[in-house]
Amino acid sequence: MAGVPVSRAGYEPVARAFAPEALGLPVRLRGWVLRSRSSGGILFFLLRDRTGSVQVTGKRDVLGDAAFDAAEHVQVEGAVEVDGTVAEDRRAPGGREVRASAIRVVDAGAPFPIFADQSEEFRLDKRHLVVRSQEHVATFRLKAELLRALREFLDREEVLEMTPPVLSGNAAEGGAEAFQIDYFGRPGFLSQTAQLYLEALLFPNERVYALTPSFRAEKSRTPRHLTEYLHLEVELAWCDLEGLLAFEERMVVAATHALAERRPTELAALGRPPEELRAVDAPFPRLRYAEAIDRLAAQGFPVRWGSDLGTAEERALTLEERRPVFVTHFPKELKAFYMLRSPDDPRTVEAADLLAPEGYGEMIGGSCRETDLARLTERLEASGGSVAEYDWYLDLRRHGSVPHAGFGLGIERMLRWILRREHIRETTPFPRTPSRHTP
């Protein structure tokens, strides 16, 4: 409401109303109306802020006619300020309510257009309002906690955060899946990976990471593909495959345990008992690609050496698992040009995908990097890349090239598994898919 002065001081978080010592004391709260009704000169609000929600009651004879009428017109998701006293009330959620002595309307709001049982398309069109739902609030708090836990882990491991570009003249992971843009008349690409830049930054820093959006122009409409996703990428000097797997294991265990510890309520509300995350422990099962193929063939999958592992195959390999599963030593033809040839088998590369348990599929792709300039150049050309375009990257193999390895974790893929979401779009506030890039 225009012209209503909004006070700046003395407001307390809504959760304060439930503190043992708050009973009988005055409080000043502000927030949004989750639900409201009025009958017989009494108004009921469920008032929400970032800390929780509490029932507020207001009586016409206490508030006065004008204020009561104004408060009665507040819609769901309208904003108000409340002065009142904390009282016990058995019927109220949490057993407490705030009896209002004053209600000031900040914005009465228009009727809120989101209800239960609306179509998925409509809810996606109104995503900017749907993000206020309890499910989304819990989801994005968990996502923030996941990012925090990952950063804390990387900090403990002395891995330094870097800020690589997202706009580039190279399309690193394969040109077909890159979004091309017009960069002042020259071709430019939205980054699919920060890896090549992290490799450059590795030499002066030895352990680096970046958390950036990656873009994939895949038209695949699957429950696990976004066209924009959040990519956590790590690059470690002096690291072999064993070291890489051990690092990924420590990281996933640290992150899942941190979530179980810090956000048990949100996890439980979203359908993942925290104990299940606490039970995620090292070592994770490890499977060579060749063994995976044998196992799948024995289950009747039409696969042989050289077949890619798709959704169905990854699902079959992990459905019964409660811990993530490593698949290692893929045929080189299935993987990117920069992966190191296995010392014991020239047909394979020192690569590892980490598959989420319970059938959720790949969440990390990683490998040791080829350090030999001649071999790297040969693989680049064999994969259709241009030596001229990648000259700067090849330069890294000309000046103190050392063994190193790295990986990329799809944050939404990991969250999809943790929260058991059917579709990956439920793990990001504004999903980007082939059919949608608004709101």
216 binds, among Mg ion, ligand 4AD, none (CB under 5 to 8 A by kind): ligand 4AD
Closest Cα to residue 359, out of 328, 413, 317? 317
207 binds, among Mg ion, ligand 4AD, none (CB under 5 to 8 A by kind): none
**Is the CB of 58 or the CB of 366 nearer to ligand 4AD?**
366
Q: Is the peptide bond before 26 cis (omega within 30 degrees of 0)?
A: no
397 binds, among Mg ion, ligand 4AD, none (CB under 5 to 8 A by kind): none
In this structure, the number of other CB atoms found within 10 A of the CB of residue 25 comes to: 11
Closest Cα to residue 356, out of 273, 420, 290? 420
Q: Decide if residue 426 touches ligand 4AD (CB under 6 A).
A: no
The H or E element containing residue 375 is helix 373-382
Q: Decide if residue 416 touches ligand 4AD (CB under 6 A).
A: no
Which of 229, 326, 330, 417: binder of ligand 4AD (CB under 6 A)? 229
| C-beta of residue 258 within 8 angstroms of C-beta of residue 149 | yes
**b/e 200-239 (16+ beta carbons within 10 angstroms → b):** bbbeeebbbbbbbebbbbeeeeeebbbbbbbbbbbbbbeb
| Per-residue binding letters, 12-41, with ligand 4AD (x by CB under 6 A) | ------------------------------
| C-beta of residue 172 within 8 angstroms of C-beta of residue 148 | no
206 torsion bin: left (phi>0), alpha (psi -120 to 50), beta (else): left
**Is the CB of 189 or the CB of 330 nearer to Mg ion?**
330
| Per-residue binding letters, 144-183, with ligand 4AD (x by CB under 6 A) | -----------------------------x----------
417 binds, among ligand 4AD, Mg ion, none (CB under 5 to 8 A by kind): none
Which positions ≥6 away from 320 have C-beta within 8 Å? none
Q: Decide if residue 324 touches ligand 4AD (CB under 6 A).
A: no
218 binds, among Mg ion, ligand 4AD, none (CB under 5 to 8 A by kind): ligand 4AD
| Per-residue binding letters, 376-415, with ligand 4AD (x by CB under 6 A) | ------------------------------xxx-x-xx--
Q: Decide if residue 365 touches Mg ion (CB under 5 A).
A: yes
| C-beta of residue 212 within 8 angstroms of C-beta of residue 231 | yes
Q: Decide if residue 58 touches Mg ion (CB under 5 A).
A: no
Query: What distance in Å separates the CA atoms of residue 107 and residue 81, rounded to the nearest whole number?
Result: 10
**Is the CB of 31 or the CB of 365 nearer to Mg ion?**
365
Query: What distance in Å separates the CA atoms of residue 225 and residue 412, rounded to the nearest whole number?
Result: 9
Residues that bind Mg ion (CB under 5 A): 365
Residues that bind ligand 4AD (CB under 6 A): 173, 192-193, 195, 216, 218, 225-226, 229, 231, 233, 362-366, 406-408, 410, 412-413
